[in-house]
Amino acid sequence: MDAIDMFRMMLDPYSAKILHLTAPKAMNALELSDALGIPIAACYRRIRMLKEAGILKEEGRVVSIGGKTVATYRSSVESVQVNLIDGRLSVTVQADGEERSDEVDLLAGTSMLHWQTNGNNGVEE
């Protein structure tokens, strides 16, 4: 996954909160679900996406309150640098000891910032 896609994923409020909560300490999915106030299935979907992107890693396993062994997760994001210069967006993500950089020309047609609208020429009601 390129740095732009990683950054786009980090813009999702719940994914951003998962990365924030797991930066200082590893947490399991139930703890994250409770902290975010979202269903466990939604939490696991985001965990899977973040793991596949390489910005969340499984750190270990613990025994939950119910006696079940569950995985704990920790953010592997070390830094993110975003620059916008002359219509070019550049993103550098440092995660798990690797650095990924990508750039996109925002002035050249459809970009990551070209979102679906509600049919009102981009004006929300």
Residue 97 lies in a domain: no
Give the global pTM: 0.79
122 domain-assigned: no
Please determine, for residue 120, whether its predicted confidence score (pLDDT) is greater than 80.
no
66-75 pLDDT tens trace: 788 999 999 9
Domain that holds residue 57: 3-76
Q: What is the CATH number of the domain that holds 43?
A: 1.10.10.10
pLDDT at 109: 65
Q: In sequence order, what are the residues at sequence separation of 6 or more whose Cβ sits closer than 8 angstroms to the Cβ of residue 66?
A: none
Mapped onto helix, strand or coil, the DSSP state of residue 40 is helix
Structure tokens at 69: 């062994």
**pLDDT tens-digit map of 7-44:** 999 999 999 999 999 999 999 999 999 999 999 999 99
Task: Answer yes or no: is pLDDT of 55 > 50.
Answer: yes
- Distance of CA 39 to CAs 14, 29, 50, Å? 12, 10, 17
79 beta partners: 94
Distance CA 125, CA 119 (A): 11
Please, what is the Cα angle at 96 between 94 and 99, to 5 degrees?
30
Would 31 be classed as within a structural domain?
A: yes
Beta strands across the sheet bearing 27-28: 27-28, 69-75, 56-63
Of 76 and 87, the one with more pLDDT = 76
Does any domain span residue 123?
no
For residues 99-117, give the mean pLDDT.
71
